[in-house]
Chains A and B, each alone.
Chain A
Amino acid sequence: MMRCKAVAELLTSDRLGDEPFWVRLQVKLHLGMCKYCSRLARQMEQLRLAASRFGRSFDQEKSGADGEDLEARLLRKLTGGEP
């Protein structure tokens, strides 16, 4: 039976997918029985979703709404259109 600490280390280090099948199975069984570790697993998933949303929030910046967009300006500079 895996201990909570070992499960928590695997969940937070993002390495569970690299572990052998029997380890992943033990973690899955543990998560089914342990409300605190399953809460941690949910936190990791929520953190991932929040980080992805955080990244997308920058996509509105320099999108051309108030003039030339990032890509057009960059191309102009790279091709010598502007110092």
Chain B
Amino acid sequence: MPSAPQLDRSTIDRLRSRDPETLSEAVREHARPLYRAARGMGFREEEAEDLVQDIFATFLETLDRFEGLSQVRTWLFGILHHKVFERRRERYREERNDPIDEVFESRFDTRGNWVRPPDDLHRLMESQQIGEAIAGCLEGLPAAQREVFVLREVQGFETPEICKILGLTVTNMGVMMHRARNRLRECIEKRGWSKT
């Protein structure tokens, strides 16, 4: 997904004055991706719409702090990130030790060769059930890992933008992505859908 363009000063000023046309452009460009991300993070339809409205309201209230140095999209998704954890009151900190790391380790011998190789999920991924499969397995992800996965794989954002939105280092994001993907793989394999 290409990076969104930065806003020029006059556009920011028009947004600050709630110019209907400029506001409409911002909503038409960003509301749907924000809604999609909120749904991907597990919010129900009405909650997701309410969340998007809340994000835009905050965006307009905080425009005075927006200097146009970052992209509007990054700013909006940063607000989404804060709202999600405000609403869920979940601890965001990624644990140093995550049980999925041991599961990953157990798949290899001491020399780093596979002892429990991955299943072939080809048939599952071509099936109509894939939406349900992913949705069900995403439920089992810790919120922080789910957020990283949704921004990267559902929204298609690049690593630097995700790190900016979530305030992560590239290394931390790699660890969270590694854990999220391994959890999803383990979940899908455990459900045995590859054998359908």
Q: A39 interface residue, CB < 8 Å from B?
A: yes
Instruction: Give min CB distance, A11 to chain B, whole Å.
Output: 9
Q: Are A71 and B131 in contact (CB under 8 A)?
A: no
Instruction: Give min CB distance, B148 to chain A, whole Å.
Output: 9
Q: Are A71 and B111 in contact (CB under 8 A)?
A: no
Chain A residues at the B interface, C-beta cutoff of 8 Å = 3-6, 8-9, 12-15, 18, 36-37, 39-40, 42-44, 46-59, 61-62, 70-71, 73-75, 77-79
Q: 10 other contacts beyond A12-B104, A39-B117, A78-B57, with CB at 8 A cut-off?
A: A15-B170, A18-B159, A36-B118, A47-B153, A50-B130, A54-B134, A54-B154, A74-B31, A74-B52, A78-B56
Q: Are B118 and A13 in contact (CB under 8 A)?
A: no
Residue total for B at the interface (Cβ-Cβ under 8 A): 56
Q: B97 interface residue, CB < 8 Å from A?
A: no
Contact status of A47 and B181, CB under 8 A, knowing A14-B159, A42-B122: yes
Chain A contacts for B60, CB-based, 8 A:
78
